[in-house]
């Protein structure tokens, strides 16, 4: 196994709206894909959730020196200690694939600012915009939810 490995974000569409995230670590025969979904953590050569839609990849700057064994152990612990919720970001008490990728990149010491906005974060941001239209009570709730989500990211 190479000492330093490339890290790639995989954006795997599940529909025209829902985007599953996974991480590929390394290239070629030594590459592994790490992902989290309703059935838990999956680790393999390819995404287990590819549904035929064109998949996007984004090479992330930086290399990880974590071994596959270390990443697998971290991922399994994440899966055992984290409840899955499609909404993610602990919005309804659980995390999703995008949260998993965000936290895994942190563990691998990859700069997370390279990652796109997670869908739960976009919904919170949209809630602030809707709150402006609907009134101060809803605006305050949207700001509180957005601030709580942003604080959890750092």
pLDDT digit string, tens, across residues 8-54: 999 999 888 888 999 999 999 999 999 999 999 999 999 998 888 88
* Residue 69 vs residues 3, 32, 59: alpha-carbon distances, Å: 12, 11, 22
Kindly indicate the confidence band of residue 120, based on its pLDDT and cuts at 50, 70 and 90: low
Judge whether 35 and 95 are in contact, CB under 8 Å. Answer: no
Instruction: Summarize pLDDT for 130-141 with one digit per residue, the tens.
Output: 444 444 444 344
**Token duo for residue 128:** 């602030």
Distance CA 64, CA 51 (A): 28
In the chain, the N- to C-terminal Cα span, in Å, equals 31
Q: Residues for the chain: how many in total?
A: 154
**How far apart are alpha carbons 128 and 134 in whole angstroms?**
10
Q: Could you tell me the pTM of the whole model? A: 0.75
């Amino acid at each position: 196994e190479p000492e330093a490995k490339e890290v790639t974000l995989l954006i795997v569409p599940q529909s025209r709206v829902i985007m599953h995230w996974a991480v590929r670590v390394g290239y070629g025969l030594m590459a592994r894909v790490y992902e989290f979904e309703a059935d838990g953590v999956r680790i393999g050569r390819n995404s287990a959730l590819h549904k035929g839609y064109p998949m996007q990849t984004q090479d992330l700057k930086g290399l990880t020196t974590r071994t596959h064994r270390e990443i697998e152990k971290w991922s399994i612990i994440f899966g055992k200690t984290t409840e899955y919720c499609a909404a993610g970001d602990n919005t309804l008490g659980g995390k999703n694939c995008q949260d998993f990728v965000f936290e895994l990149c942190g563990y691998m010491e990859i700069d997370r600012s390279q990652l796109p906005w997670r869908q739960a974060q976009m919904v919170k941001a949209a809630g602030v915009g809707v709150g402006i239209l609907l009134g101060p009570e809803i605006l305050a709730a949207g700001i509180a939810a957005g601030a709580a989500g942003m604080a959890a990211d750092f």
